[in-house]
Amino acid sequence: MADPTIEQVKAMRTAVLGAAAKVPGALIGLGILFIVLGMIGVAGQTLFSFVSINVLGAFLVVGGVLQGAHAMKSHGWKSVGIQVLMAVLYIAAGLYTWAFPIPALEVITLWLAAIFFVTGFLRLVAAFQHRVFGEWFWLALSAAISILMGVLIMNSYPSSSLWLPGLLIAIELLLQGWSLLFLGLAARSITK
């Protein structure tokens, strides 16, 4: 089979990248912004945790207000009472995270540990279900790492709740930033 031509490679990239190929500068800029925010987050994990919990509180309050406003305008809808109750719960949760950020961070840290445990266990089950494939070991290794992350979080709990959420968000921003940057660079190479 012959290697694809340069035009065929460009056509494949355009097909894969779609609309992203039209705005490579925006992707590159957003990628750089996320990388910078991620580096700031890694440098100041505790501050990033508190900023993140306050942003979460703001989203909860705004979401609750919007849901309550929508429920009040929906007369005759059978679920108005439930929607108002949900709005009150959202607002209360948002105010709680603002008033008590450390306990809110502790809850989020416990939730993260539970996610690592559950996803690790499910990946481990999937790995043993796929033992016939030679690569099942990598899935089992990924499961073991997830379970180990849960154990490490719980071993340093509750002190880890001050820095862990900020660190994980910072790492996610770095990964997303690098992904967007490389996607933008790939899209820019198509337009040249």
Angle between helix 164-191 and helix 101-129 axes, rounded to 10 deg: 60
Mean predicted confidence (pLDDT) in 10-36: 76
Cα distances (angstroms) measured from residue 96 to each of 51, 53, 89, 165, 182: 15, 10, 10, 17, 39
C-alpha span between 50 and 78 (Å, rounded) = 39
Structure tokens at 93: 């949760």
Mean predicted confidence (pLDDT) in 85-109: 91
- What average pLDDT is seen over the chain? 84
* In the predicted structure, residue 99 carries a pLDDT above the cut 60: yes
H/E element holding 175?
A: helix 164-191
Mean predicted confidence (pLDDT) in 122-136: 82
Q: 69-78, 118-127, 143-152 — which is least confidently predicted?
A: 69-78
C-alpha span between 180 and 25 (Å, rounded) = 10
Cβ–Cβ < 8 Å for 160, 104: no
Q: How confident is the model at residue 65 (pLDDT cuts 50, 70, 90)?
A: very high
C-alpha span between 66 and 163 (Å, rounded) = 31
pLDDT of residue 47: 87
Q: How confident is the model at residue 131 (pLDDT cuts 50, 70, 90)?
A: confident
